[in-house]
Amino acid sequence: MKHFGIADLRFWLTQTFVWPFRKPRFITLLGGPGAGKGTVASQLAPALGLTHLSTGALIRNEIAQGTDFGKQVKDLIEKGALAPDHLVMQILTRALKSPANSRGVILDGFPRTLAQAQMLDQLLASWGVALEKAVWLELTEADLIERLSLRRTCSNQTCGRSYHLTFEPPKLAGHCDACNSALYQRKDDAPEAIRTRLETYKQESAPLSSYYKSSTAPGVFALIVPTNSMTKEMVLEKVVLALSS
């Protein structure tokens, strides 16, 4: 068991003296792999003054740094499987308690399972707060496959921006517009891994959506149905509208 450290003390102080006046906002973007969660979150977060927290990026960062957590999940992720709930929860909790995220976060890629959704609600409840919205981006399987197979990601871990070779190509082929690092195809965006991810998603998403529709407070669940013919601005507009309703 970890000792109560400076970071925990700082979190406790924020929670006790700042939160009563300015409650942090917790919003999650859900949907299949390639649904555009990262794209929406990266535009929405600065607009709302919140942090974009991608559990996928947190996990890839741990893998790149070769931490104990990274080693444990590396093989699973590369096969297109999910990291175990308790490990993801551990790394997410640490990120949520960071002073940098004290105004609230837009979660991208979490929760992915019913168990994770329940753990998140329990964690927030223990802090006296609650999830504000679960925004569900629902695309057809054909649209998801088209997006994933042509997705390219910035190799710079602190940037991690993603591109689509047809819909959103980089200005200079093979290089990130933001930081000029090389773009690569994530191992889990390879054809075999895509099939596994979509299969996993189908199995996990049904109980997750019914949880948000029926077990959480009314108005938490918001359904958005983007298609590949919509621009990202059109999708963002729908999400903004859902958040204000």
Q: Is 183 helix (H, G, I), strand (E, B) or coil?
A: strand
Segment interacting with Zn ion (CB under 5 A) among 54-62, 67-75, 150-158, 187-195: 150-158
**Is 37 in the active site?**
yes
Select from 51-59, 180-188, 205-213, 216-224 the region that touches Zn ion (CB under 5 A). Answer: 180-188
Q: Catalytic annotation on 186?
A: yes
Question: What does the per-residue mask of binding to Zn ion show for 159-178, with x meaning CB under 5 A?
Answer: x-x--------------x-x
Residue (of 158, 140, 150) closest to 186 by Cα position: 150
Q: Would the CA dihedral through 10, 73, 41, 168 be positive or negative?
A: positive
- Residue 42 sits in the site that holds Zn ion (CB under 5 A): no
- Count of beta carbons in the 10 Å neighbourhood of residue 30: 26
Element (H, E) at 27: strand 25-31
**60 flagged as catalytic:** no
Does 154 bind Zn ion (CB under 5 A)? Our answer is yes
Binding of Zn ion by 61 (CB under 5 A)? no
Q: At what angle do helices 68-78 and 55-65 cross, to 10 degrees?
A: 110
Which positions are annotated as active-site residues?
37, 112, 151, 186, 197
User: Binding residues for Zn ion, per CB under 5 A?
Assistant: 154, 156, 159, 161, 176, 178-179, 181
